[in-house]
Amino acid sequence: MVYQIYPRSFMDSDGDGVGDLGGVLQRLDHLADLGVDVLWLSPVYPSPQADNGYDISDYQGIDPLFGTLDQLDDLIVKLHARGMRLLMDLVVNHTSDEHPWFLESRASRTSPKRDWYWWRPPRTGLAGGEPGAEPTNWQSFFSGSTWEYDEPSGEYYLHLFDRRQPDLNWENPEVREAVYSMMRWWLDRGVDGFRMDVINMISKDVAADGHLHDGPPIPGTSLGDGSASYLCGPRIHEFLQEMHREVFAGRDAALLTVGEMPGVTVEEARLFTDPTRGEVDMVFQFEHVALDQGSSKWDVRPLRMRDLKASFGRWQAGLADVGWNSLYWDNHDQPRAVSRFGDDSPRYRRDSATCLATLLHLHRGTPYVYQGEELGMANFPFAGLDDFSDIESLNHHVQAVSAGEDAAHVLAALRRMSRDNARTPVQWDASPSAGFTTGTPWMPVNPDHVEWNADAQRNDPTSVLAHHRRLIALRHENAVVALGDFHLLLPEHDQVYAFTRSLAGETLVVVCNLSRTAQSLPDLLPQAVDAELVLGNLPVDDAAVLRPWEARVLRLR
């Protein structure tokens, strides 16, 4: 399994309130105890931190905020000594607007690096900066147009995310070679692979004359949806195959790559992860984290269990013979799973966190655990707008309120969906700063840390932490968990999520009650009633009754 560290919120070693590499080094025992195989480290490179490091100004260094290159080297050595591997975050769809490449590109229309980014003149007949003069109507992920006007040169540059994150032009072979050479440099240093940020956005659908196409209008705005022009664009497979050849070929076959791919379909994922094609090992898909959303992530809807089953079920089936799934509930961009898919009321928080974990870890694929998920960390009780820090949340608030949305309604959506929910400090102990820092934490610690923390759980066999340890060990020790075929049961049931995993004559039945209502097992799965209990999240008093949020892994006799 892969454990994700968002360094600024993991552990602070120098008291400045921001987590750092020294902090990661101090907490290696926690990772080893859990059974982590691979550590994915979110960006630690020099960055103005407009998007907490996803805006990189130097790909080959460490931001002093996080420490030094020596510490990174030390981390590689210490992880390897404990049998763990390190994945770095590769953010190459865009750079920071303070990256020297962009500064040079911006300097003049004739700069040798002008073509390293997407520069375009204003729309014909309109003056630069005038509303509607943007080269395309695309809406950016972080609100507003994807185009920023550069007064001195009279042209716009493209940014799918914030204006401080200009998109690199992958059409230019020099850009690609610069990226590959940087990747080789990290591999030569000993890192074991990359998690590739929005990697399915690097190829844009551009006409031979350089023209980019408008997208369909987005209702209620003057903007359009440009995603058809940049999600899995025309050259995406070519670029990833080239990267594979130029960077990974001939190196250790154990190197690992995972491509983050918003909007990727199962059919595309089969191509991306087919080992014979030489692209990436697995992708992060977004289908299951969009099931509780309407027109946007801020339009929160109730999740229907059968939709979740249908979605996971299709991905399991789609990548059964070719390719490989990555499995996640949480990461630094998602609200906390126990609050979102589980039940974070005091009565059911522990049970639902362990139930969700069982469900995820028993699927076929590589499970990802995001820091704090193994402790059952929950969403933050945001009081007001001042408590938010994330660029996406703040930009959305400005835009939504200025478009006339009710401020209280916008705030309510932020509370549930803001990425800040995932970014509060990891709760190590019950002390005032949760053992995260001796200073003032950059984001407030969740007040529930007095009860919910690693210290309280480490030696408690019933804890969320102990349950994660057991799930991870179960996969390590059982080939059927790692490799068995997946078969969905009860597809129409709205509370019980059940499936089998089978390999070489052995069959496990996994049954999870994702509700507060007790369920009768004989009515649902008679074959499971007298099966052998391999792992459960609650003590079983009555084999016939699945209690609220109970999960069982059973072996058919």
Report, as residue numbers or ranges, the catalytic residues.
197, 260
Phi, psi of 195 (to 5 degrees): -100, 120
* The token pair that represents 94 in the structure block: 């865009």
Query: Measured from the CB of residue 32, what is the shortest distance to ligand ISL in angstroms?
Result: 26
The phi and psi torsions of 35 (rounded to 5 degrees) equal 100, 25
54 vs 380 by CB, closer to ligand ISL: 54
Residues 6+ apart with CB under 8 A from 116: 101, 102, 105, 168, 169, 172, 174, 175
CB of 260 or CB of 374, closer to ligand ISL: 260
At closest approach, how far in Å is the CB of 260 from ligand ISL? 6
C-alpha 518/C-alpha 193 separation (Å) is 44
In the chain, the N- to C-terminal Cα span, in Å, equals 28
- Measured from the CB atom, the residue of 197 and 448 that comes closer to ligand ISL is 197
Q: In the bound complex, what is the minimum distance in angstroms from residue 259's beta carbon to ligand ISL?
A: 11
Residue closer to ligand ISL by CB (options 93, 515) is 93
Look up residue 357 and give its amino acid.
A
Report, in angstroms and rounded to the nearest whole number, the Rg of the chain calculated over CA atoms: 24
Residues 135/123, Cβ–Cβ less than 8 Å: yes
- The dihedral over CA atoms of 256, 474, 337, 493, expressed in degrees to the nearest 10, equals 120
Q: What does each C-alpha distance from 444 to 22, 74, 388, 433, 516 come to in angstroms?
A: 21, 29, 10, 8, 31
C-beta neighbour count of 333 within 10 angstroms: 19
Give the whole-angstrom CA distance, residue 10 versus residue 17.
11
Least distance from ligand ISL to the Cβ atom of residue 362, Å: 25
Closest CA relative to residue 194, chosen from 177, 182, 178, 176: 182
Residue 250 CB, shortest distance to ligand ISL, in Å, is: 30
Q: How far apart are CA 512 and CA 551, in angstroms?
A: 4
Edge-first strand order for the sheet with 496-503 is 485-489, 496-503, 506-513, 551-555, 532-536
| Nearer to ligand ISL among residue 161 and residue 388 (C-beta) | 161
By beta-carbon proximity to ligand ISL, the closer residue of 50 and 481 is 50
Please give the residue ranges that form the binding site for ligand ISL (CB under 6 A).
Answer: 51, 54, 91, 141, 161, 197-198, 260, 262, 297, 332-333, 392, 419
Cα-to-chain-centroid distance, residue 335: 11
> C-alpha distances in angstroms, 127 versus 108, 130, 149, 194, 485?
19, 6, 10, 42, 59
Tell me how far, at minimum, the Cβ of 97 lies from ligand ISL, in Å: 13
Biggest CA-to-CA distance, the chain: 76
Tell me the C-alpha distance between 476 and 366, whole Å: 12
Q: Which of 95/519 has CB closer to ligand ISL?
A: 95
Considering beta carbons, is residue 42 or 513 the nearer one to ligand ISL? 42
In the complex, least distance from residue 330 CB atom to ligand ISL, rounded to whole angstroms: 12
Q: How far is the CB of 51 from ligand ISL (least distance, A)?
A: 5
